Structure 1
Amino acid sequence: MKASWRARLAGPGYVILNGIRVINIITFLDIIAASVVMLVKISLTSGFFFFEAVTHAVTAGVSIFLLISELPWLCSYFDRDWPLLGHNSGFITLGIAMFMLGAGVLGNLNRKDMGQDHLGMTFWQIVLSAGVLALVMSTINFVSSFVFADGEKGVTARQIRIYGAVAGQKGEIPRTGSHRTFRLSMKREDTLPIYSPQAGRKSPTDRNSTRFPLKIEKISSPPPNDAASSRYSRDESGIAPPDLAHHPALKGEYI
């Protein structure tokens, strides 16, 4: 019942998630505009205004980067170098980043120099809308990452957004099988045959008995060499060695 419900949701999910993508892009554009407004309207009364300006610039830069990740460009780059923003991942990282950006933008409105009197009603509303929209969309992305994903088939919400109902038929390697694939690759040598000059090629099942099929009787007791042993009893001419009883050291006067 659960699998059929996921399968029926994949088709409408393609439309819904692409609609959410458009709103995400609008949210990032709003955050960029709000950062530029606060950067222009920054107060120069304190000597630490430079660091506040860097904060707004970083916020705008991160928003531009996340905006590009939502566009159908540089997909291979994000899959390779930023896998948490690639199509094999959900929207959890995107939702967390949007929440942090929205909270940071709204936190700037707590200062007096960022009030309505200093920014003006129009610019103040831009900053307010950017923060509120980022918080709302972060929640929507977080929830949609679980609702539209199919963990049993290894299909993520981003894959549903790209492929729709045929996301499970694109030949993607599921996350649930990644550990199994790793174990098979680590044990790849167990599936390869071993060549031995004595026994030829051996099957993987025969290899469990021994790695080096050596016969013990060939190396434990080498056969005697009659030619080598006879050198110490008789030389090549056939003359026997002298009797040691006639050696001068064994005569009576030396004993």
Structure 2
Amino acid sequence: MVATRAYIFFGLNAVRILSIVSLILVFASSIFVMVTDIEAVNSFESAKQSGNVTAQDLVDCEYIESGAFFWAIINRLLIIFQVVILILSEIGWPSSFFDRFFPVLGSGFGLGALGIFQGLIGAAVLSQHVDDFTLVSAFFLFVLGCINMFIGLIFRESAKSRRSITSWREDAKNVLPTTNQPPVSHLNLNRSASSSSGQSFTSSTMNEEKSSDLGEFGAGRSSSRAGYGFGRQGEKAAGLKGFLISKPLETLPRYAARPTTAPSQSSRSPSPQPQFSSSGTAI
């Protein structure tokens, strides 16, 4: 279980690193294309002022004359802004800002929305006539967007929590117990095991005693040979068969201590004194 969780953690973070790299490449390529477009416009305006513009140049740079150049620059600026937002979302900073103003990019949502945004940016760049570096960067971003959408369908909102480093550390602390305090679960298991073993031992002992008593006094035998014990029923049954049960005489036990001192003189009864007559003879 821990190995599977570790594989998922490292796999999601590898996709995150590749996603950040692709966004950085698109950021750099957008700036490069924007600078190239500005230089092309400046060179066209300078050639136009000098009168060196041919008819073919006017056809090739028709978007400059129609004012489409302005919207091309706005497009590049919006792509750069979106790429910066997505990079911050992948880093996870500031998380409170995204949770409040961009919830789909916050911690409460998965990677599906992020993949959709990456796919839209990549398709928008690939639909234009640009250099090879920009095309490769946009295609790389589009592929990563598809992967993030697939991961979002699998893990849904738990994808970001599974790849979070802070949550990984917290889970590791919960898994590994500290040395100062033993895990409560082990104590409970030991107590429950000891109590259950004690109960089972007590129940088995009581069952053995009951079985021995039943076997001794005949209660466990068949109905035809049932015994009556030493109670009134047993005495009655013995009387019907002609047996008499006499009670034993109450005697002192052999180990009773004998008195060591003789009775005192005061406790003895006084003997009668002899009486004499006038002649001196005893009466």
Superposed CA offset, 1:113-160 (max 9, x none): x3xxxxxxxxx23201111111110111111123334xxxxx611111
Is the Cα contact below 8 Å between 1:11 and 1:165 reproduced in 2? no
In structure 2, relative to structure 1, the CA distance for the partners of 1:32 and 1:48 (3 Å cut) is: same
Of 79, 87, 90, the residue aligned with 1:67 is 87
- Give the aligned partner of residue 146 of structure 2: 139
Return the alpha-carbon distance in structure 1 between the equivalents of residues 146 and 68 of structure 2.
Answer: 34
Superposed CA offset, 1:65-120 (max 9, x none): 111111132012112221111112111110000000000111112xxxx3xxxxxx
Deviates more, 1:86-95 or 1:41-50: 41-50
How much has 1:165 moved relative to structure 2?
9.6
1:20 aligns with 2:22: no
* SS in structure 2 at match of 1:88: coil
Matched to 2:18, the amino acid is I
Unpaired stretches in structure 2, ≥5 consecutive residues: 42-60, 175-283
Is the Cα contact below 8 Å between 1:11 and 1:164 reproduced in 2? no
Matched residues, percent identical?
A: 25
- Give the aligned partner of residue 38 of structure 1: 33
Superposed CA offset, 1:200-222 (max 9, x none): xxxxxxxxxxxxxxxxxxxxxxx
* Bigger RCO of structures 1 and 2 (CA < 8 A, at least 6 apart): 1
Could you state the TM-score of these two structures normalised by the residue count of structure 2?
0.47
- Give the count of matched residue pairs: 146
Return the alpha-carbon distance in structure 1 between the equivalents of residues 17 and 77 of structure 2.
Answer: 23
Is the Cα contact below 8 Å between 1:27 and 1:133 reproduced in 2? yes
Give the structure with higher Rg (CA). 2
* SS in structure 2 at match of 1:156: helix
- Equivalence map 1:111-190=2 (5 Å): 114=130, 124-149=131-156, 156-162=158-164, 163-164=167-168
Structure 1's consecutive aligned runs of 4 or more residues displaced over 6 angstroms after TM superposition are none
Return the alpha-carbon distance in structure 2 between the equivalents of residues 88 and 11 of structure 1.
Answer: 22
Is the Cα contact below 8 Å between 1:34 and 1:130 reproduced in 2? yes
- Give the aligned partner of residue 118 of structure 1: none
Superposed CA offset, 1:183-231 (max 9, x none): xxxxxxxxxxxxxxxxxxxxxxxxxxxxxxxxxxxxxxxxxxxxxxxxx
CA RMSD of aligned residues (A): 2.4
Return the alpha-carbon distance in structure 2 between the equivalents of residues 90 and 32 of structure 1.
Answer: 23
- Equivalence map 1:228-243=2 (5 Å): none
Return the alpha-carbon distance in structure 2 between the equivalents of residues 89 and 9 of structure 1.
Answer: 22
Return the alpha-carbon distance in structure 2 between the equivalents of residues 166 and 11 of structure 1.
Answer: 14
How much has 1:10 moved relative to structure 2?
3.2
